[in-house]
Structure 1
Amino acid sequence: MTVWTLGLNHTTAPLDLRGRFAFALDQIAPTLQSLRSSFPSGRHPQVEAAIISTCNRTEIYCASEHIALDHTVGWLAESGGVAPALLRSHAYTLHDDEAARHVFRVASGLDSMVLGEAQILGQMKDAVRAAENVGALGTTLNQLFQRSFAVAKEVRTATEIGAHSISMAAAAVRLAGQLFEDLRKTRVLFVGAGEMIDLAVTHFAAKEPKSIAIANRTLERGEKLATRFGGEAMRLADLPARLAEFDIVVSCTASTLPIIGLGAVERALKARKHRPIFMVDLAVPRDIEPEVKALEDVYLYTVDDLAHVVQQGQANRQAAVAQAEVIIDAGVQSFMHWLGQRSTVPLIQQLNAQADEWRAAEMARARKLLAKGESVDAVLEAMSRGLTQKMMHGAMAELHSGDAASREQTAQTISRLFLRKER
């Protein structure tokens, strides 16, 4: 069995290219079905697969008897509408121990834009659950991910990897504070109601802004989040008409197309008499048209723009990173040992089945002898000899076949298997 990974993230691919391969959680199931059905059934029956898709990465994990990286690259390139060569130039491909090390580092927050952040672990668990629900997660990938979760837990328990991490939401608050002298005088609009927006609202609410509003496609979900922070909820359709009211806009939805266009922002700036608007687009693909950034009174930041902010304090975490890598190395060795043992499972099953067949045959023979009146001692002697002969037959036949070199090798193997002394 072999495991392989194809991925692209914030360090290898620009934001717009990552957006082509972003999958919302409700898209994971049909996407996994499409991926698995694309493999040739003869060489790759029942390929295990999982997809992790976040604002910073899209990664495909597969397991099968034979590696199929080229096929996986071709499938993902086609799904994103790009040439395989372009995808390869911005992607990474890993297999076996390298794939295991990578997923352990991702789960532990070592491969995130925010070093040590914990949000990725929850996103990975959601992705694994989605793969399980569609029947795409077999024994091998299940072991890989469960071990990655265990390693991540040990890293967070035994090191201070997350002690100094700055979340994307906290970075947005920090940048907003540089533009506005007093955040308590600002009106903040959040677009979306998912986990990232929940985190952003929590951070901005701590600064006690003048007002908070949640715009969401589903009004009920927006109201639920707004109520927690004493804010108001509005329909997404009302956003263009009300955009001018807000000094700060933070957006993160699962939309495949921008929902805040250049024209809407231009009209809002005119109504605000060109008072500045601070905008944060945390979505992949983008929620806000990139042309908005060129407007004079708009300060637009994407997830990639926040990278230099969240990396501050990196030096303080290097000792923790070194400790975490030691834990991860141990986890990789343990998984590869398990994976290696998996190849012997069919042989072990066959040996057990053969032994059971021999045992059943000798038991049946013993019962017949007992029924004929044979003594118990004689029956036990016959049964033990029968079992011994069956077990030794193959080894003895091999010792008498082949040339001298092969017989010598066979003799060494048989000695190791049958002549081990008790210690």
Structure 2
Amino acid sequence: MSVWALGLNHTTAPLDLRGRFAFALDQIAPTLHSLRSSFGSSSHPQVEAAIISTCNRTEIYCASEHIALDHTFGWLAQSGGVAPALLRSHAYTLHDDEAARHAFRVASGLDSMVLGEAQILGQMKDAVRAAETAGALGSTLNQLFQRSFAVAKEVRTATEIGAHSISMAAAAVRLAGQLFEDLRTTRVLFVGAGEMIDLAATHFAAKEPKAIAIANRTLERGEKLASRFGGEAMRLADLPARLAEFDIVISCTASTLPIIGLGAVERALKARKHRPMFMVDLAVPRDIEPEVKALEDIYLYTVDDLAQVVQQGQANRQAAVAQAEVIIDAGVQSFMHWLGQRGTVPLIQQLNAQADEWRAAEMARARKLLAKGESVEVVLEAMSRGLTQKMMHGAMAELHAGDAASREQTAQTLSRLFLRKER
């Protein structure tokens, strides 16, 4: 059994390219079906697959009897509508122990833009549940991910990898504080109502801004989040008309197209008499048109723009990283040992089936003897002899077959199998 992975992330690909390969959670099941169907049952039967898609990465993990990296790569390029050469220049491919090590590092927060952040672990668990629900997760990938979760837990328990981390939300608050002298005088608009917006709203609410509003496509969900922070909820359709009211705009939705356009921001600036606006686009693909960044009095940051801020203090975590890598190495070795043992499973199944067949034959023979009135002792003796002869027949035949060298090798093997002393 082989495992392979490929993907692109914040260190290998620009935001707009990552946006072409972003899959919302409700898209995972049909996307996995498309991927698995593309292999064809004859050349790659029963391919296991899972997709992890966040604002910082999109990764595909697969498992099958034979590695099919090129095929998977071609499928991903086609799904994103880009030339394979372009994707290849920004992607990475991994297999077996490399794929396992990468999965363990991702789960542990070692491959994140925010070193040691914990959010990716929850996102991976969501991706695994989606793959399992779609029927795309088999025993090999399930084992890989369950072990990655266990390794991540050990890393967080045994090291201080997350002790000095600063989240994307905290970084946004820090940057906003550099623009506005007092965040308590600002009005903050959050666009979306997902996990990232929840986190961002929690950080900004701690600064006690003058007003908080949540704009969401589903008003009910927006109201639920807004109520936690004493804010108001509004429909996404009302956003262009009310944009000018807000000093800070944080957006993160699952929209495939920008929802805040250049024209809307220009009109908002005019209504604000060019008072500055601080905007953060945490979405992949973008929620805010990139041309907005060129406007005067607009301070627009994307997830990639926040990289420098969140990396501060990284030196303080290097000792923890070294400890984490040791834990991960041990996890990789354990997984590869398990994967290697998977090759004997078909033989074990065949041996068990053969033993069951022999047992059933001897049981049937014993019942006939009992029906004829034979004593239990005679029947048990006959059944034990019959089973013994069946089990030993193949070994005895091999001892008498072949040349002297092969017979000697067979004798040594049979001695190890049948003449072991109980300890």
Deviates more, 1:135-144 or 1:13-22: 135-144
Q: How far off is 1:385 after superposition?
A: 2.5
Name the CA distance, whole Å, in 1 between partners of 2:96 and 2:415.
34
Question: Residue by residue, what CA displacement relative to the aligned partner does 1:348-368 show, whole Å, maximum 9, x if unpaired?
Answer: 121112112212222333343
Name the CA distance, whole Å, in 1 between partners of 2:290 and 2:404.
75
Deviates more, 1:86-95 or 1:53-62: 86-95
**1:226-265 mapped onto 2 (5 Å cutoff):** 226-265=226-265
Describe the SS at the equivalent of 1:147. helix
Q: How far off is 1:143 after superposition?
A: 1.3
Q: How far off is 1:241 after superposition?
A: 1.5
Instruction: Establish whether residue 33 from structure 1 lines up as the match of residue 33 from structure 2.
Output: yes
**1:261-280 mapped onto 2 (5 Å cutoff):** 261-280=261-280
Question: Residue by residue, what CA displacement relative to the aligned partner does 1:77-124 show, whole Å, maximum 9, x if unpaired?
Answer: 000001112111111111111111111111111111111111111111
Q: How far off is 1:374 after superposition?
A: 4.4
Name the CA distance, whole Å, in 1 between partners of 2:270 and 2:320.
50
Describe the SS at the equivalent of 1:258. coil
Q: How far off is 1:173 after superposition?
A: 0.3
Q: How far off is 1:41 after superposition?
A: 0.7
Describe the SS at the equivalent of 1:255. coil
Name the CA distance, whole Å, in 2 between partners of 1:21 and 1:267.
32
Change (3 A) 1:376 1:221: closer
Q: How far off is 1:410 after superposition?
A: 2.4
Q: Which residue of 2 aligns with 1:330?
A: 330
Q: How far off is 1:375 after superposition?
A: 4.9
Q: How far off is 1:50 after superposition?
A: 0.8
Deviates more, 1:53-62 or 1:371-380: 371-380
Name the CA distance, whole Å, in 2 between partners of 1:246 and 1:382.
91
Name the CA distance, whole Å, in 1 between partners of 2:368 and 2:132.
51
Deviates more, 1:144-153 or 1:11-20: 144-153
Q: Which residue of 1 aligns with 2:165?
A: 165
Q: Which residue of 2 aligns with 1:302?
A: 302
Q: How far off is 1:264 after superposition?
A: 1.3
Question: Residue by residue, what CA displacement relative to the aligned partner does 1:280-334 show, whole Å, maximum 9, x if unpaired?
Answer: 0000000111111111211111000101111111111111111211221222122
Q: How far off is 1:39 after superposition?
A: 0.7
Deviates more, 1:75-84 or 1:91-100: 91-100
Q: How far off is 1:60 after superposition?
A: 0.6
Deviates more, 1:330-339 or 1:117-126: 330-339
Describe the SS at the equivalent of 2:6. strand
Deviates more, 1:399-408 or 1:75-84: 399-408
Describe the SS at the equivalent of 1:90. coil
Name the CA distance, whole Å, in 1 between partners of 2:2 and 2:64.
6
Q: What number of residue pairs does the alignment pair up?
A: 423
Deviates more, 1:349-358 or 1:108-117: 349-358
Q: How far off is 1:150 after superposition?
A: 1.4
Name the CA distance, whole Å, in 2 between partners of 1:405 and 1:302.
71
Q: How far off is 1:403 after superposition?
A: 3.4
Q: How far off is 1:62 after superposition?
A: 0.9
Describe the SS at the equivalent of 1:422. coil
Name the CA distance, whole Å, in 1 between partners of 2:125 and 2:339.
21
Name the CA distance, whole Å, in 2 between partners of 1:214 and 1:104.
35
Q: Which residue of 2 aligns with 1:175?
A: 175
Deviates more, 1:406-415 or 1:150-159: 406-415
Name the CA distance, whole Å, in 1 between partners of 2:155 and 2:98.
19
**1:357-368 mapped onto 2 (5 Å cutoff):** 357-368=357-368
Name the CA distance, whole Å, in 1 between partners of 2:250 and 2:174.
13
Question: Residue by residue, what CA displacement relative to the aligned partner does 1:200-240 show, whole Å, maximum 9, x if unpaired?
Answer: 01101111111111111111111111111111111111111
Change (3 A) 1:393 1:240: same
For the aligned residue pairs, the C-alpha RMSD in angstroms reads: 1.5
Q: How far off is 1:59 after superposition?
A: 0.6
Name the CA distance, whole Å, in 2 between partners of 1:322 and 1:304.
26
Name the CA distance, whole Å, in 2 between partners of 1:29 and 1:342.
27
Name the CA distance, whole Å, in 1 between partners of 2:130 and 2:363.
49
In the TM superposition, structure 1's runs of 4+ consecutive aligned residues that sit over 6 Å from their partners are: none
Deviates more, 1:200-209 or 1:94-103: 94-103
Q: How far off is 1:373 after superposition?
A: 4.7
Name the CA distance, whole Å, in 2 between partners of 1:383 and 1:317.
67
Q: How far off is 1:27 after superposition?
A: 0.7
Name the CA distance, whole Å, in 2 between partners of 1:414 and 1:77.
53
Deviates more, 1:44-53 or 1:413-422: 413-422
Q: How far off is 1:371 after superposition?
A: 4.2
Change (3 A) 1:265 1:338: same
Name the CA distance, whole Å, in 2 between partners of 1:382 and 1:27.
62
Question: Residue by residue, what CA displacement relative to the aligned partner does 1:167-193 show, whole Å, maximum 9, x if unpaired?
Answer: 000000001111111111111111111
Q: How far off is 1:402 after superposition?
A: 2.8
Describe the SS at the equivalent of 2:45. coil
Describe the SS at the equivalent of 2:189. strand
Q: How far off is 1:378 after superposition?
A: 4.2
Deviates more, 1:173-182 or 1:390-399: 390-399
Q: How far off is 1:194 after superposition?
A: 0.6
Name the CA distance, whole Å, in 1 between partners of 2:234 and 2:274.
24
Deviates more, 1:334-343 or 1:251-260: 334-343
Describe the SS at the equivalent of 2:89. helix
Name the CA distance, whole Å, in 1 between partners of 2:286 and 2:145.
29
Deviates more, 1:152-161 or 1:200-209: 152-161
**1:281-320 mapped onto 2 (5 Å cutoff):** 281-320=281-320
Describe the SS at the equivalent of 2:422. coil
- Relative to the length of structure 1, the TM-score reads 0.96
Runs of 5+ unmatched residues, structure 1: none
Question: Residue by residue, what CA displacement relative to the aligned partner does 1:250-293 show, whole Å, maximum 9, x if unpaired?
Answer: 11000001111111111211222221111100000001111111
Describe the SS at the equivalent of 2:157. helix
Deviates more, 1:251-260 or 1:312-321: 312-321
Change (3 A) 1:304 1:381: same
Name the CA distance, whole Å, in 1 between partners of 2:269 and 2:368.
98
Deviates more, 1:143-152 or 1:302-311: 143-152
- Relative to the length of structure 2, the TM-score reads 0.96
Name the CA distance, whole Å, in 2 between partners of 1:32 and 1:366.
52
Deviates more, 1:183-192 or 1:324-333: 324-333
Q: How far off is 1:37 after superposition?
A: 0.7
Name the CA distance, whole Å, in 2 between partners of 1:103 and 1:119.
15
